[in-house]
Amino acid sequence: MIKIGISACFLYPDKERLVFGPKTLTYIENDMACYVTKKGVLPILIPDVEEELLYDILSEMDGFVFQGGNDLAPETYGEKPLGKWKGDAYRDQYELKILDYAIQNSRPVLGVCRGLQLMNVYFGGTLYQDTVTQNPKAMEHRSAQLYDTIKHPIVWIKDTFLAQRYGNTKDSYVNTVHHQAVKDLGDHLEVYATAPDGIIEAFGYTKEPDGKVMAVQWHPEFFHTLNGELIDAHLLYDAFLEHVKDEQ
């Protein structure tokens, strides 16, 4: 089976939590688990363990998916926090080790939402810590109440990898559930798509074949919430899996 390593989300010790209150939990959101799981594909949640053991696990993976979750910590990309937006520095370092392994060993990578932001920072880019206040031209990209029931059009960049996959899709829409966004684009990254306000919605790493290392700002795993109103989420994942199979 194809083994896809998925970076973990974290819940830290919380005495108010009734179950495992004093413990750190690592988890995968279930829509993501369902999205990644296909016939012949084994999703594996990557544990937070000491590096010697971690790299043994990573060496068994055929590709990597970086899921959504908390903001990146501003310190991770060389900035001081603005107000309450502290991010998750611990998760940043855990995921950056995994991403560095994937890049250094030429493994296929798909980043989703936070995963796109992580990849941008890894390649030297920066983020809007709070998109609403730092980019007044930005449209609404996140609603805590409406969550994955809001959408916006997607603008494909002509002749890029995802434009070739989705370019004939009329009235293309994606969901939008992100608080941070790309400010300065990282090195060797090619923009695949933007929102109508110019916010970067997808990119690929130019030192690998098109689409082998790529990321999207939307949540393809949440497509079923607005089923029939959004682009086909399976086209994206199938394109990623094609690269995984090519590497075997």
Residues with catalytic function: 113, 219, 221
Pick the CATH number of 2-247 from 1.10.287.70, 3.90.1150.10, 3.40.50.880, 3.40.50.12780: 3.40.50.880
> 190 - beta bridge partners?
204
Q: Is the pLDDT at 69 greater than 70, yes or no?
A: yes
Q: Are strands 200-205 and 213-216 parallel, antiparallel or unpaired?
A: antiparallel
**Domain spans, the chain:** 2-247
Q: Name the percent of the chain lying above pLDDT 70.
A: 99
Q: Mean pLDDT lowest for which of 100-104, 108-112, 128-132, 221-225?
A: 128-132
**What's the pLDDT at 170?**
67
Confidence band of 168 (pLDDT split at 50, 70, 90): low
Higher-confidence position of 14 and 169: 14
174-198 mean pLDDT: 95
CA gap 87, 245 in Å, rounded: 35
Regarding pTM above 0.75, the answer is yes
Confidence band of 80 (pLDDT split at 50, 70, 90): very high
Nearest to 32 by CA among 99, 114, 105, 104: 114
93-117 mean pLDDT: 98
> 140 - beta bridge partners?
none
